[in-house]
Structure 1
Amino acid sequence: MVKFTANEIRDIIISMFVISFAFALLLSGSNINTAISLIPIMLIVVGFAFVFHELAHKFVAIRYGYWAEYKMWIEGLIFALITAYFGFVFAAPGAVYIHGEKISKEENGKISIAGSITNIIFALIFLLIIKISGQLYYWAFMGMFINGFFAFFNQLPIMGLDGSKVIKWNPFAWIIVVLVSLGFVAIGYFPSLLKLIL
């Protein structure tokens, strides 16, 4: 059964707002007033990417019978805001902490890859919106790019990130997720690539 503690709900909401504001700050060119005006759309484009990424970890961990709870990392949230002000976002707002008996390599790998797979699904949904709705092109494009970025960033094989656990479990699955998410990131930097797939 999925349960949320009061502290966990608080941490998710705070993290969602801070990460959304960090990306708004980035897109606004560090203009605070413009960034504040962008928060509503950033909550949809960025906030959902973050929240569902973390919930995917939680739900898969619970499916394996573990207790899982998201906890924000205050230093990470502050660092995200600082880096956003200077032109890039290092997004490490917190993590889902898992408690229980010894977790197998396979279970840990599947829990760790769940977040990025969720972001890839969202990136595909935003890609579909790009195809069918020219009016929402810009924000759908941002949604696709940011979800791709979240998926790719979290799969970096660095201690503490999901990728270090996934690659130990299944290097092939790790490569597939990295390549797909990197594809969305590449489209973000080179929009002309959209013509090849749409």
Structure 2
Amino acid sequence: MVSEYFRFENEEIKGLTITILVLSFIMSFREWGTDKFDVGTGLTNLFNTIVIVTIAIIVREFAQRIFALRHGYRYEYRMWMYGLIIGLVLVFASYGWLTFIAPGGLVLHQITRARIGKFRHGLSYMNILQVSLAGPVANIILAMVFKMFMFLPNTALIEKAITINILIAVFALLPIPPLNGANVFFQSRLIYVFSYASIIGTGILVYFANVLLAIVGGLLLGGLMWLVYYLKVESA
């Protein structure tokens, strides 16, 4: 079953390729020279960004596919063309100072034979939430892995890889359909507040501090924001 449902369909490959190229262009927009426009420097930076974004997106997609299959669903990637266009318009209009990253959304299709015997046999919104969180969490974990290599002499690319993975995770959890964040937000506000605060806190601390502090600090921030939201909104 894994080999049958884990593979990428042609439409998904096309969508992922377009997404990777557009996101790479957006995230390397201001890297075409320092004092003046330099084609060689720009192409080198664009190539490096494409490699990093490809790794980040593949890790994200694999994590979401694995979680989907684990719960008995076939995973399908959906490119968000309007989101990519918004990102391009913003980056051009602001000369690269404003960034909007739209990594796309997902659709789950029930695998009937895999769902037999499951509680509430049909499509579970909680399962959609779990799959939607798997991608951003995978990107944050990947950022932590890159952070462990910051002892190497040339860390510019490693730092860039950390930044890109954090940005993809943070933007993916925005509560805007069809991004992953919408699936979490409309299923459980409490889980959304905890997970988004944890992702943001962990991302900031991974970049500026260390992995251990990032994990502890991120979870503490998530727990604090969960408590504040529960007391101020849910129980009000």
| TM-score normalised by structure 1 residue count | 0.79
* Cα displacement (A) at 1:5: 1.1
1:28 equivalent in structure 2: 32
Contact 1:21 1:35 in 2 (8 A): no
* Cα displacement (A) at 1:31: 5.2
1:179 equivalent in structure 2: 201
Cα shift readout 1:108-159 (whole Å, capped 9, x = no counterpart): 22101101111111111111111x2022x11111111121122222223445
Secondary structure in 2 aligned to 1:67? strand
In the alignment, is residue 133 of structure 1 matched against residue 152 of structure 2? Answer: yes
- Compute the RMSD of aligned alpha carbons: 2.8
Moved over 6 A (4+): none
User: What percentage of aligned pairs have identical amino acids?
Assistant: 28
Distance 1:152 1:176 in 2: 10
2:164 equivalent in structure 1: 146
Contact 1:109 1:166 in 2 (8 A): yes
In the alignment, is residue 120 of structure 1 matched against residue 140 of structure 2? Answer: yes
Secondary structure in 1 aligned to 2:149? helix
Distance 1:82 1:31 in 2: 20
- Greater displacement, 153-162 / 77-86: 153-162
The aligned amino acid for 2:171 is F
After superposition, the Cα gap between the structure-2 partners of 1:77 and 1:143, relative to the gap in structure 1 and judged at 3 Å, is same
More relative contact order, 1 or 2 (CA 8 Å, 6+ apart): 1
Cα shift readout 1:11-39 (whole Å, capped 9, x = no counterpart): 21221122112211143379583433322
1:63 equivalent in structure 2: 70
Distance 2:201 2:175 in 1: 14
1:162 equivalent in structure 2: 180
2:20 equivalent in structure 1: 16
Alignment length (residue pairs): 188
The aligned amino acid for 1:67 is R
In the alignment, is residue 81 of structure 1 matched against residue 103 of structure 2? Answer: no
Contact 1:54 1:96 in 2 (8 A): no
Contact 2:76 2:108 in 1 (8 A): yes
Structure showing greater radius of gyration is 2
* Cα displacement (A) at 1:102: 4.0
Secondary structure in 1 aligned to 2:7? coil
After superposition, the Cα gap between the structure-2 partners of 1:74 and 1:32, relative to the gap in structure 1 and judged at 3 Å, is farther
1:90 equivalent in structure 2: 100
- Greater displacement, 6-15 / 94-103: 94-103
The aligned amino acid for 1:69 is E
2:233 equivalent in structure 1: none
After superposition, the Cα gap between the structure-2 partners of 1:154 and 1:32, relative to the gap in structure 1 and judged at 3 Å, is farther
5+ unaligned residues in a row in structure 2: which ranges?
A: 111-120, 214-236
Distance 1:12 1:57 in 2: 14
Contact 1:20 1:43 in 2 (8 A): yes
Q: Which has the higher helix share?
A: 1
After superposition, the Cα gap between the structure-2 partners of 1:84 and 1:3, relative to the gap in structure 1 and judged at 3 Å, is same
| TM-score normalised by structure 2 residue count | 0.68
Distance 1:106 1:75 in 2: 27
Distance 1:109 1:93 in 2: 17
